[in-house]
Chain A
Amino acid sequence: MKKVNFRNLPSQLSLLLLAVLLTFSVSVSAQEDSASEAEQTTAAVPAADGVGDAVAGKALFNANCAACHKLDKKATGPALRGVTLRYDRNWLYEWIKDSQGMIKSGDSKAVALFAENNNSVMTSFPALSNGDIDNILAYASEPKAVPVAGGDTAATGTTTGGGDGVSNNIILAALALVFGLLVVMLFLVTGTLKKIAQANGVEYQERETKTPLWKAFAQNQFLVLVTSIFLLLCSAYFAYGWMMQVGVDQGYAPVQPIHFSHKIHAGDNKVDCNYCHSSARKSKTSGIPSLNVCMNCHKNISEYAGEADLESGYTQEFYTKEIKKLYDAVGWDETTQAYTGNTKPVKWTRIHNLPDFAYFNHSQHVTVAGVDCQKCHGPVEEMEIVEQFAPLTMGWCINCHRETNVKVEDNEYYSKIHEELSKKYGVEKLTIAQLGGLECGKCHY
């Protein structure tokens, strides 16, 4: 049931919203324009350089180098921007193709570089041609893109937008005041008119005093009875509905200590659920990934460079800040690229809470039955903030057990029991219920 107290409010609000949106959209599109302009300008520079194709170089860089190198920042390996200025191009060809060979041969520069980077061995790339390397170097030689003014415009955009909101409120308040005044005036006017009429001796025709409707209603016992029964039933219906949702936390989406976006990880980057929640395959719990799992990727991904959702305030800086929170928790020092040992375990807020008396095993569903995670958890890959998708009530569990067939293919465990049971029930496919999946003790012990 939805409340409809302010019947006119939606239309008024939508008008206001429209106004706000219009102001926003202008600023946003302006920002996009400037960003693309900036890209074009930066792209133009290396072409002028002449050696290598920076666009092809970017692709090669991302495929081969990005795991350990960044342009402007030290990762596992050193930052690569302007590397051509530091090293001779031929030296670089040799180094990239066989760095260990150079170190062994005692090349002083190579040895020094190796020592500088904690003796971490760089993969050799004998398959890259000099042309490829030129392309990569061209990409690495691009001047750093000037921080685009877009960020600022966005900021100002938001503030002005906010300002509009405030002024709208003021206008609304003023209007309300005016209406109020009008009503008061109306009463005053009728009062005065009455007084004038009285003074002039005009006589009102008093209305006939009928029994008021409520009295008539109260006197009709039948009606009272029927209404009270109706009201009682209604309240019982709503009370029941309300009580049945107690403890059902469907849609529960708590704020987490680190804003982890499943949309970016599972959606945009298509990371498999089981990569992080690996224990779902073998344990009863899906497991909240330990932070060392995050660091498998985030050792190298220290900044967010994907799309931003500015409407909700999720800028790139915002996401990058969240990655820093991870570094803080796991005790990772970015400058030295090493663990400090100073860890702060993250206190996540648990979203899916089954009561203790209900036993649920992920591996049974994920590994044995092959159920998609999304079946119970919903489109997590689209969720910026994860929420509880399913009601997690017993009825919901039971329903699925009634409808779903047991996945018996290629599972020798089931072969005998399935054959015998399907003969008994005279069916081709057995549901989980027919296999005993509705028994109390299967989940409650």
Chain B
Amino acid sequence: MASNKKYWKSVEELDTNSSIVETLRENEFVESIPTDEFLGDKETLEASSTTRRDFLKYVGFTTAAASLAACEGPVIKSIPYVIAPDEIVPGVANYYASTIADGFDFANVLVKTREGRPIKIERNDLSTQGGGVNARVQASVLSLYDKNRLQNPLVDGAEVTWADFDTNVAQKMNEMSGKDIVLLTQTFASPSTSKLIKEFTAKYPNVRHVVYDTVSSSEALDAFQNKYGTRALADYDFSKAEVIVSVGADFLGDWQGGGYDAGYAKSRVPNSAGKMSRHIQFESNMSLSGANADKRVPVTPSQQLKIITALTGGSFSDLPNEIAEAVKNAKAQLANAGSKGVILTGLPDVDAQSKALNFNANSIVMDAMKPRMVRQGNTAEVMRVMNGVISGTVKGMITVGVDPVYSFPNSSAFTEAFKNLDMSLTFAMKKNATAEASKLVAATPHYLESWGDTQMKKGTFSLIQPTIRPLFQTRQFQDSLLQWTGNSQNYYDYIKGTWAAVLGGGSWNQALHDGFFGSDAEVQMDVMPIPSEGEAVIEESTANGALSEALQNEGLELTLYTKTSMGDGQNANNPWLQEMPDPITRTTWDNYITISAKDAESLGLENTHVANGGLNGSRVNVTMGDVVIEKVPVIIQPGQAVGSVGLALGYGKTAAIQEEMQTGVNAFALYNNFSTIQTVSLEKVGGMHEFACVQLHNTMMGRDIIRETSLEVFNTKDVQEWNPVIYVSKDHKEIPISSPDADLWESFDRSVGHHFNLSIDLNACTGCGACVIACHAENNVPVVGKAEVRKSRDMHWLRIDRYYSSVESFEGDLEKKENISGLGSSLSDFGAMEHPADNPQVAFQPVMCQHCNHAPCETVCPVAATSHGRQGQNHMAYNRCVGTRYCANNCPYKVRRFNWFLYNENDEFDYHMNNDLGRMVLNPDVVVRSRGVMEKCSMCIQKTQLTILQAKRDGKPVEDSAFQTACSLACDKGAMVFGDINDHSSEVYKEKKDNRMYHLLEAVGTEPNVFYKTKVRNSKEV
């Protein structure tokens, strides 16, 4: 039925004469369409010489030209050697033993070179000095190819030749005769350099040598010197330890030169008798050591002073009850352990250091007879130099390997005075702050381009040998000294001369081959003038007074620390290290104030997550006396002692640092009296800081990710109790996940040939991150920059997840989860479990591609770019990948990384892959990925294939230890073991059969080829 009803849209329509209705009928769009706005105004259009047609022509032409050009292969030139060196075969890597001794890190290393270019730093397995090849040492090879390096010596900022430079220096030295010149150097711990410096100061008696450690261990040195007479640091072998009590000593980090983690890890794995060491940590910042401890007690530095006293025989009365209880227990355990107990302290206080030393005198863990020489600085002496320069009594200064203008606490006054010195000469690799302020700058080579020797530990001498010709017009400090003392020898011959005594008939070539030589030869290395009695006493007392005095001020107690990635800041221009997540906060590209949740609340500071997953943090002004550091971002750190804050040194550099890497704030401004402990006050300022943090979820919420148990349970209970096999239901029957019935898939027969597995022992892993950098170097993993990391687009093939417990312990987490019942409780309790406890347990878990035998990624790839090999590796054919990212979405472990951009030869990502120099570090055996492809851990297939090929060429079966991945090779703790499980005599096969073995997310049924070993904590109190 048709209706006669008339529908109207507005009352206007009723008025037949309305002009509006008329207009609307005629013209649908009453307002004229803003074409001009859209196309630009007519004038510019007409003025433009490019018409729309032209534009289309250009587009058409360029498209056609581009596609035509793509069809033509490029002409590639190959330039062979004119005279090839005998030892170089193109395509085959050479290894050289050398040593790093940059004043902060000391370690025997193995340098991998390809066609004469060093491309990777590895551990020197022969070395008896254990670890030390940490993330920074692994990354040091990239600093060789830093484009900001000095390429020539400078006089008043202008590049000159070395001959001119020498004339200038000679002239200056003559002018300065009789005036006080300070030679301020890093710790060399080098017999030859010490001898050379003595010759230099003998020729120029107005020069005096002062050693300056950027991050000082002066108090520990003083304590050791007082007790044993040598200025050195006691050495510790933690593999012998039964009870380790650390009071503010991050001995798994950089405490007293670092490198103790390898020995520590040995005592942390339960042995056949079911025993492992017990580690108790009293500290204010959450450090690596605290994270690995069996028991961690957050205490402020002032409490730490009292704890040391209490542990070594003093009273407990000053301490709060809870802490006193913990200290009593620790003391009892130390007493039980007898000579296998050890106390460590990181307090910058001679008295506290002495107490610990005295306690350890009976311990077999400490070795005072063969102490470490890796720190020599004396803060009192350095302070006198600093004040001398400011007051004008010091007229000239020569700095070597240190950057006082950057790292002295009252930088501005010193800088002004330094600029006005009669003579300022800096030996530096880069035009750092000191070099910028000096008149004469001597360009020095990287350690991979230099000769040298060092005695890290008494009785073990190491050699530094060049692995590449100097890239630039550089000359090492020692060669300059030889030149200026009129010695015609070069430094190589000079070292050989010094070593005649060291070798005592041993072979120089063998020493050079090994990189080190054990010898009991006494070599005079004392470079510090031993202060006269009176002086020493005064300094000691002032140094002691300083700490307790500093701690009496009102405010928060600040502990300055060094990060495993940045150290003292020498490597600030190293993109690998900038992008390496801090093991604890998992934050990259920044330093920040760490603060406890309670203090943060009272100051109104907060951390929030924004929509794209980025972490934001409040900002504060940090005030210490008249020193104010503005707008320091804040991270709320679980486990931070209430009343204390932390801040990392080594950031905030601006000189000779690429803009992208000028990150963080310079905490050396707060390094008053060269003491890591200060009192500061914080004041909230507006705005939020944008962090680039790679881990957003900090707790496991009782899920089965890291399995953990206590030593007691491990020793007494059935495996099923603490490392259960997972059961799934099939036909309403419970069957173990490992049963073939629980499997949807037809499995390949993997019993023939190699079948690679990687074992990760969570007990031995300390989370140090050396493997992360080794993986970068081996696999050409790109650096993406802070903004991309913030968007979770980091490219790390290997990440080390860090989890906090949401109650006191992980076991508590599990219990809490089990007890959740009902909707109300689950909402509130799960919500609560997202937040870490005030003093949580911490666990680390390295996660890389798990190389699942039943890989979820492989089944979803539409182009079969990822597929499985018979040797257990999950292959990724980059050239086949079209970038759908289905695989990453389907990966339960989230280990696949997508190249959102072209990270090489792209000015938007101006890191090492964007310049010819930086690209020299690339591994030629691994392809550099392009934009739009997925990439991930390959289980170092280039290394396994090479090992197999070598065996084939030699015509013999592969030895077990020959199979290695970059990460397993980098791990000096033995946490990562790689090998062939079809070889039943292999170590990895034994690990796989161990009852601590479990697979990550086993319930998913992916059957990974990477497996973990349950973490066991020695939680026994008393």
Spell out A's residues near B (CB within 8 Å).
Answer: 246-247, 249, 252, 254, 279, 282-285, 287-293, 329-331, 343-350, 353, 355-359, 361, 363-364, 367-368, 410-414, 416-417, 420-421, 424, 435-436, 439-442, 444-445
Contacts and interface: CB of A to CB of B under 8 A. Distances in A.
Contacts of B80: 287-291, 345-346, 348
Interface string B868-902: 01110101111110000000000000000000000
Interface of B: 70-71, 73, 75-84, 89-92, 749, 751-753, 865, 867, 869-871, 873, 875-880, 925-928, 938, 941-942, 945, 948-949, 951-958
Nearest to B948: A413
Nearest to A249: B73
B952 A436 contact: no
B951 to A, nearest CB: 5
A196 B870 CA distance: 92
12 contacts: A291-B82, A291-B83, A345-B80, A345-B81, A353-B76, A359-B942, A413-B951, A416-B957, A421-B753, A441-B867, A441-B877, A445-B938
A293 B80 CA distance: 11
A357 B927 CA distance: 6
B83 A368 contact: no
A337 to B, nearest CB: 17
A417 B983 CA distance: 12
A6 to B, nearest CB: 27
B75 A349 contact: yes
A347 B82 CA distance: 11
A20 B264 CA distance: 89
Contact of A279 (B77, B89, B957): B89
Contacts of B870: 436, 439
The secondary-structure label for the interface of chain A is loop
A290 B83 contact: yes
Given A254-B75, A353-B73, A329 B955 contact: no
Nearest to B939: A441
A347 B949 contact: no
List the 10 closest A-B pairs by CB distance, nearest first: A441-B875, A283-B91, A290-B84, A290-B81, A288-B80, A285-B91, A284-B91, A440-B877, A350-B76, A343-B82
A195 B76 CA distance: 68
A368 B878 contact: no
Given A330-B82, A343-B82, A348-B78, A439 B869 contact: yes
A439 B871 CA distance: 10
B957 A285 contact: no
B937 to A, nearest CB: 11
Contacts of B945: 359, 442, 445
Chain B facing A: main interface SS: loop
B867 A440 contact: yes
B84 A292 contact: yes
Contacts of B928: 356
Given A413-B958, A441-B869, A283 B81 contact: no
A258 to B, nearest CB: 12
Contacts of A368: 949, 952-953
A444 B879 contact: yes
B879 A436 contact: no
Given A357-B878, A363-B949, A436-B871, A348 B79 contact: yes
B90 A413 contact: no
Nearest to B933: A357
Contact of B875 (A347, A356, A410, A439): A439
B752 A444 contact: no
Nearest to A283: B91
A287 B949 contact: no
A345 to B, nearest CB: 5
A282 B92 contact: yes
A442 B870 CA distance: 11
Nearest to A439: B869
Contacts of B879: 355, 357-358, 444
B953 A329 contact: no
Given A412-B955, A412-B956, A347 B91 contact: no
Contacts of B957: 412-413, 416
Contacts of A411: 952, 955
Which of B70, B78, B867, B873 counts the most A-chain CB atoms under 10 A from its CB?
B78
Given A356-B927, A436-B870, A444-B879, A345 B79 contact: yes
Given A282-B89, A283-B90, A440-B880, A364 B949 contact: yes
A445 B955 contact: no
Contacts of A289: 80
A364 B873 CA distance: 20
Given A445-B875, A445-B926, 16 more contacts: A247-B73, A279-B91, A290-B84, A291-B82, A292-B84, A330-B82, A345-B81, A357-B878, A358-B879, A368-B949, A411-B952, A441-B867, A441-B875, A444-B875, A444-B927, A445-B938
Contacts of A252: 73
A436 B89 contact: no
A440 B875 contact: yes
Given A361-B949, A439-B875, A445-B941, A345 B89 contact: no
B514 to A, nearest CB: 25
A299 to B, nearest CB: 13
A345 B752 CA distance: 49
Given A247-B73, A359-B942, A346 B952 contact: no
Contacts of A330: 82-83
A297 B153 CA distance: 44
A441 B941 contact: yes
Contacts of A293: 84
A439 B877 CA distance: 10
Nearest to B955: A411
A219 to B, nearest CB: 35
Contacts of B952: 364, 368, 411, 413-414
Nearest to A424: B752
B927 A445 contact: yes
Interface centre among A249, A358, A424, A439 (most CB of B within 10 A): A439
A348 B75 CA distance: 10
A436 B749 contact: no
B877 A345 contact: no
A270 to B, nearest CB: 23
Contacts of A358: 879
A417 B867 contact: no
Contacts of A285: 90-91
Contacts of B752: 417, 420-421, 424
A279 B87 CA distance: 12
Nearest to A329: B82
